[in-house]
């Protein structure tokens, strides 16, 4: 499959899911959030993140004073729910059927939420890409290189868009500067949901 845009190695595929598929997925994600409620992780620096999170899969991403890591259980002590089937389908379309993701991280951005520039480096094998899907409000996605402080470019991600971060881009810095709150009607109450799929161990 050919990306619509490739920016610093980030491959961007537009409108991969149509509206009906997005709505069906939102229903699946509500079930995930019912089993594993969204929470606000605390950074290793002690600051609560503005993005609320939960996960599905064998592992969930977690952060507190002790650092960033993957955990086998939700903070409630229960295991994470299964990754919804349409999400696994999406991964197989972009990565193949060799291995399924261990973690589907669900990020929820309310009004004013953003995510600072970061690398995704808590996984064991950077040979596997990270696949992300955007749902709901538009978001300004900033992409840089493998060192902090270099030049960056930005692109608006819209509901249904997929970004594949693999190869040279796998360890590139990236983040969300802001969302256009209320720009989409997909999510009741507005906001944005981003799913990232990863192989963890």
Q: Which residues bind Fe ion (CB under 5 A)?
A: 120
* CA distance to 100, 161, 171, per residue, from 93 (Å): 11, 14, 22
Whole-angstrom distance, CA of residue 69 vs CA of residue 177: 23
Comparison of 36 and 194: residue with beta carbon closer to ligand MD6:
194
Whole-angstrom distance, CA of residue 69 vs CA of residue 187: 29
Q: How many residues bind ligand MD6 (CB under 6 A)?
A: 12
**53 makes contact with ligand MD6 (CB under 6 A):** no
Shortest distance in whole angstroms from residue 133 CB to Fe ion: 13
Q: Which does 36 bind (CB under 5 to 8 A by kind): Fe ion, ligand MD6, none?
A: none
Comparison of 38 and 171: residue with beta carbon closer to Fe ion:
171
**165 makes contact with ligand MD6 (CB under 6 A):** yes
Q: Which does 176 bind (CB under 5 to 8 A by kind): Fe ion, ligand MD6, none?
A: ligand MD6
Q: Which does 163 bind (CB under 5 to 8 A by kind): Fe ion, ligand MD6, none?
A: ligand MD6
Comparison of 43 and 79: residue with beta carbon closer to Fe ion:
43
């Amino acid at each position: 499959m050919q990306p619509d845009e490739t920016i610093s190695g980030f491959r961007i595929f537009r409108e991969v899911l149509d509206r009906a598929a997005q709505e069906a997925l939102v229903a699946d994600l509500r079930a995930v959030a019912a089993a594993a409620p969204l929470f606000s992780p605390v950074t290793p620096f002690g600051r609560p993140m503005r993005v609320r999170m939960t996960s599905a899969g064998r592992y969930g991403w977690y952060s507190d004073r002790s650092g960033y890591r993957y955990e086998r259980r939700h903070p409630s002590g229960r295991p994470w729910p299964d990754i919804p089937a349409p999400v696994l389908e999406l991964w197989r379309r972009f990565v193949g059927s060799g291995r399924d993701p261990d973690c589907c991280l669900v990020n929820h951005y309310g009004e004013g939420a953003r995510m600072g520039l970061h690398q995704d480096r808590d996984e064991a094998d950077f040979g596997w890409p990270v696949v992300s899907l955007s749902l709901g409000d538009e978001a300004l996605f900033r992409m840089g290189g493998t060192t902090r402080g270099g030049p960056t470019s930005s692109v608006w991600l819209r509901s249904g868009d997929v970004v594949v971060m693999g190869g040279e881009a796998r360890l590139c810095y990236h983040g969300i500067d802001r969302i256009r709150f209320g720009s989409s009607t997909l999510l009741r109450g507005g906001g944005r949901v981003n799913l990232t799929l990863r192989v963890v161990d």
